[in-house]
Structure 1
């Protein structure tokens, strides 16, 4: 899919205008949970990613003596769970999965990984860097993330460089065509190879001030709402971006949806949007209801009330995360269908 740029994008980019959202919230739909199975010996877990064909990925864990944890990567497909284990003995953070079942993420260090043949393998760290965070994978097998370095002028804090691990298996490459000041992080990848990038204005910045959509060496800056000082980009799907912005105070975050032309809007009552699917269904936190909620483009569509944490909007229309079904119960990987 090519990302279209129209005259209205240029106007928004110059003015920082925000498209007003007047659509009222729809009546809250009922959301029915389904609890996914867990591997033996791992009684807790969560969904943190979904593929384009109805599968999910995330983690499962057990609390051991001394309140430490063993955390392993897992994949769910056709109602079955696969334990992918750890990277060596390191606990995992799972950030993405594609239709072919490749699961990606990272461990402390940081070191990036992908799954192959039922286990995790480390991705190569780009030359000249000390580590890598992996943030996403598309159905072609392209993997994106950020290489990590700690230059003397920023030590002990790290800076980041957006990186692509091509599906061909060739060496990872840094993304070109982005601003040369400050630094940037790759946050997500779309099915057509477009990468969502956060830009930080200085090497010692802790918050991003701009988002870019990068493809094949060309980067397009997204317009921020007029009340934006800092911005976070969480998800990219079918040309749409979900995220959040903060005003000068640094508090009172608000959810933002950038449409396929790069025009931002405020979905009704959203504090943030964490994930968006191909059809424009997003999930995040609703200040209007004090719960997790879903939106269809600008309109709130459903609320979730059973002690959830919901971070995934899947292409099959479900949303997913984890929940505690009753007081004292384990935290279970959960998928909700709303409607």
Structure 2
């Protein structure tokens, strides 16, 4: 199982049906594939999709598995313990539902553009029938049925994603176009797009072969391979810096295509980079083994200094260009680069006795817009937090 499989599985499983009201969808997705699962999520339809992509497997790490893992820092956030919130800047946040242009009990906002104007998500039944939806300034538009599993949206409202058969696509100005699959590979996994129209992802072939790929919104049938075989690209910043992995090591490419390894926290053998915004990137390192599984721990990189920091939080679902970290457990939290934090509120119109379970999946560059979902009344509903 490779790094880009984990992230692709996360994208696909966001529409999986959840049978019980206290399930945290995003947590279960990440924990399930990274061997930190605490709750069960139903996902029969998703297994079918993943089998078609050849992405079924278990997380294994090499010789370091028998060595004692470094002791991670004590968690600063707990699902049950109160959190001290002393924001560096005074902000008031409000949660509101996004309109649903089509019916479906599983409706989730999965990503937001750097400005906070454009939001992308999925609405369906959770049985591999989800339709991609783009919300712009609160107005919803359903993308063509040929587009599935939206992954990201940029400041121009261009959406990218990957269908269940491994076909990459870009939606721009009402037109849906496919992305080229490089020769020698049979699928691509598309993860991110920046404001310049650069799209990044990973091509996948037989015997788990894979390589990082860069496309352009303007020329989707052209591409550039990044790094050597065995590379993967998972994120791109507005200036064109690409992050991902080379083998099992975290890696970055400059806008000119020059690659270099990123630091791994002391005492850890491997790391993966999941996404990047501004001068910040987040990812994971393998922690201790538990019953044959590996506990994955979140990491943040400062791309300016190259420093890697093991985070004292149970998860990291996103990072803003200003360094704000999005932590989503049973109640989403935004943590500033200086360590101060603010808890995102529940919807004001819902009585406390009827409060649902909230998940947060994406954050804007200024940290003031966060998107996700709330599970209440036996269904998931798309949600946005606006802070001012």
TM beyond 0.5: yes
Q: Does structure 1 residue 266 correspond to structure 2 residue 310? A: yes
Deviation for aligned residue 1:308: 1.5
C-alpha change, 1:335 and 1:35, in structure 2 (3 Å) is same
Structure 2 gaps, min length 5: 1-69, 78-82, 347-355
Q: The residue matched to 1:270 in structure 2 has which SS?
A: coil
C-alpha change, 1:211 and 1:163, in structure 2 (3 Å) is same
Which protein is richer in strand relative to its size?
Answer: 1
Question: Which residue is equivalent to 2:241?
Answer: 194
Match of 2:164 among 98, 108, 111: 108
C-alpha change, 1:138 and 1:336, in structure 2 (3 Å) is same
Q: Does structure 1 residue 86 correspond to structure 2 residue 145? A: yes
Contact 1:235–1:274, Cα closer than 8 Å, also in 2: no
Partners of 1:300 and 1:244 in 2: how far apart? 22
Partners of 2:245 and 2:313 in 1: how far apart? 21
- Comparing 230-239 with 129-138, greater Cα deviation is found at 230-239
Deviation for aligned residue 1:235: 1.6
Partners of 2:268 and 2:223 in 1: how far apart? 33
Partners of 1:56 and 1:44 in 2: how far apart? 20
Structure 1 gaps, min length 5: 1-16, 201-208
Corresponding pairs, count: 293
Contact 1:257–1:265, Cα closer than 8 Å, also in 2: yes
Deviation for aligned residue 1:53: 2.2
Partners of 1:230 and 1:300 in 2: how far apart? 29
Partners of 1:35 and 1:192 in 2: how far apart? 32
Deviation for aligned residue 1:80: 0.3
Equivalence map 1:1-339=2 (5 Å): 26-27=84-85, 31-42=93-104, 44-63=106-125, 68-87=127-146, 92-150=148-206, 154=207, 158-169=208-219, 171-175=222-226, 178=227, 180=228, 183-200=230-247, 209-215=248-254, 216-249=256-289, 251-259=294-302, 260-267=304-311, 269-285=312-328, 291-304=331-344, 306-316=356-366, 317-324=368-375, 326-328=376-378, 330-337=379-386
Contact 1:227–1:247, Cα closer than 8 Å, also in 2: no
Question: Which residue is equivalent to 1:203?
Answer: none
Deviation for aligned residue 1:285: 4.1
Partners of 2:93 and 2:285 in 1: how far apart? 28
Which protein is richer in helix relative to its size?
Answer: 2
Partners of 2:168 and 2:250 in 1: how far apart? 23
TM-score by length of 2: 0.68
Contact 2:109–2:120, Cα closer than 8 Å, also in 1: yes
Deviation for aligned residue 1:224: 0.8
TM-score by length of 1: 0.77
